[in-house]
Amino acid sequence: MKTKTTFSILALLAMVLAAGVSAEAREYRPNATTVHKLTDSAEIVIVARLDRVENIDLTEVGLDAARYKRLDDGLIQDGEDYIRREGVLSVNSVIKGDASLTGTEVRFVSIRQLKLPAYDSDLRGGEAVYFLSKRADGRYIVISDERGTVSAAESAGDLNKTTSFLKEHLATGSTSATGITRMLNAIALDASRLSVDCAIELSWHHESYAPAMTGEQRQRILDLCKLSHPGSEERNQLLTAAGRHPAEGALEGLLEVMLGDPSWSTTSLASMSLEYVNRGLAITRLLEEYELAGENGEAKIVIVRSLGLIRPKADYDGPAVRNDTLQLVNELLVATTDKDLLREALIASRDLRSGTSHLANLKALVDNRATNGLTNAEVNGAIIAICAAREAGDFDSEPIEKAYLKSLADSDPLLKQVVESAGKFPFSTLIQGADGKGH
């Protein structure tokens, strides 16, 4: 279904966002570089201290220097012609690989050719787990740059907990019932690498864990999801895991989390999991919760947003819930609606492919813009929703109100820009939501 594909993309974006704004490990996929995956793929896994970084003179420019030309005064990458920088690790213990490496030094090609002062302080200041493999020329590299390390700081101060987990993973695997329990015990909701990676595994690689998972373990996932901190990486992952491994009462539990956390990431991921659990019942419960929300504007925002994301369809979910959803949103498309809620209703109107159902109210919002107190954000959102109103199921058709939109564009050069942009990309032109961001 469309929503599942969309939410998978949203989930991925949510998870890689932090990597995108950081100078560290800029090119990695979190789901492919959990400590589980790194342990399985690495040639050696060691606990070691980064002792120094040395310059090795070359007779040619060097591939590493060419790939990692100096950026940001060498803080991001620091390749230097005719030099290859190598890090030197003092090995304390070996988790995987040749045990005789204990007490020796292991050299690796320095991450992005960094000098020692440019390494993170937690790697310069103490021991860490390093996941290493040899590249084609026989030299060790850290897999996925900093992502291929786990420091004490990333282990909530207890690196032994991480090393013990990795040893047990190597010994017995993690896809058995015993392994799953070990993973659940490691999800401490403390933002540690182990906690986050175990949640990622249960979310992204759910098919590997589902066969052996017990009802009690599914319940623990749901309970951890409820206990997770709003905005945390664990919450994002556990919301998906709770849908992939639904416990008894999962639908109500997911609703509880979603209605208690108005962030877009929680709404989108919880909505996806509601679909996994029971799409039809989820829509019905959302409509019921809206009636119960009373004056709780925050809850109404979340419900309207979720309905727009799930997008009830007459031919799939039945005409009754489709019409009830369209009517609920239509009643909000008036100037007297709280502006935050109105913006979410405009987004939902666009996403619902509402046909003619909302056109009268949408046009009134635009036509009365001089007197109804709406800002450009709401007026532009209404225009985008009008542009998205096409014949049911026909994404390639022209807007139903093509003539109205042309007249609007001809009358106001500022609105013309909105009409032209939304006319070309009606379902992907962003509307400002309650959080002030485009959706």
The CA-atom distances, in angstroms, between 367 and each of 364, 405, 409 are: 5, 11, 12
Note whether 271 and 196 are same-domain residues. yes
Model pLDDT for residues 287-334, shown as the tens digit of each residue: 999 999 999 999 999 999 999 999 999 889 999 999 999 999 999 999
Q: Is residue 410 part of a domain?
A: yes
Give the residues across from 91 on adjacent strands. Answer: 48
- In this prediction, what percent of the chain has a pLDDT beyond 70? 93
The residue segments making up the domain with residue 212 are: 2-20+174-188+191-276
- The token duo for 158 is 């207890």
Structure tokens at 48: 């070691």
User: Does 8 map to a domain?
Assistant: yes
Last residue of a domain, one of 249, 276, 303: 276
Q: How confident is the model at residue 393 (pLDDT cuts 50, 70, 90)?
A: low
Same domain assignment for residues 420 and 319: yes
pLDDT in tens, 51-92: 999 999 999 999 999 999 999 888 999 999 999 999 999 999
Determine what percent of the chain falls in helix, strand and coil, rounding each to the nearest 5: 60, 10, 30
Quick one: CA dihedral 305, 197, 155, 225, positive or negative?
positive
Name, in order, each residue with C-beta under 8 angstroms of 221's C-beta and a sequence gap of 6 or more. Answer: 184, 202, 238, 241, 242, 245, 247
Same domain, 64 and 141: yes
pLDDT of amino acid 24:
56
Rounded to 5°, the CA angle 212-218-220 comes to 125
Residues in CB range of 29: below 8 A, 6 or more apart: 16
Q: Both 256 and 342 in a single domain? A: no
56 and 7 co-located in one domain? no
Same domain, 342 and 244: no
Domain-embedded: residue 294: no
Look up residue 389 and give its DSSP letter.
-
Identify the pLDDT of residue 116. 98
Mean pLDDT of the chain: 93
Phi, psi (rounded to 5 degrees) for 129? -85, 135
Q: Do 64 and 132 have their domain in common? A: yes
Is the residue at 296 inside a domain? no
- Tell me: the pLDDT tens digits for 199-214? 999 999 999 999 999 9
Q: What is the pTM of this model?
A: 0.90
C-alpha span between 161 and 159 (Å, rounded): 5
The pLDDT, as a whole number, for residue 397 is 80
CB 177 within 8 A of CB 184: no
Residue 209: its pLDDT value, please?
Answer: 98
Q: Which pLDDT band, with edges at 50, 70 and 90, does 237 fall under?
A: very high
Above 70 in pLDDT, residue 1?
Answer: no
DSSP classification of residue 57? E
- 177-186, 262-271, 387-396, 398-407: least confident range: 387-396
What is the Cα–Cα distance from 114 to 391, expressed in whole angstroms?
A: 57
DSSP H or E run through 280: helix 264-292
Domains held by the chain: number: 3
What CATH number is attached to the domain comprising 94? 2.40.50.120
Residue with tokens 């000098």: 115
Integer Cα distance of 105 and 53 in angstroms:
12
268-284 burial, b for 16+ CB within 10 Å, e for fewer? bbbbbbbbbbebeebbb
> 354 or 12: whose pLDDT is higher?
354
Are 323 and 222 part of one and the same domain? no
Q: Which has more pLDDT, 7 or 182? A: 182
Whole-number pLDDT of residue 341: 98
pLDDT value, residue 20: 38
183 and 251 inside one domain = yes
Longest dimension (CA), the chain: 80
Give the pLDDT band of residue 28 (cuts 50, 70, 90): confident
Q: Do the Cβ atoms of 266 and 235 come closer than 8 Å? A: yes
Residues 195 and 250 in one domain: yes
- For position 106, what pLDDT does the model report? 99
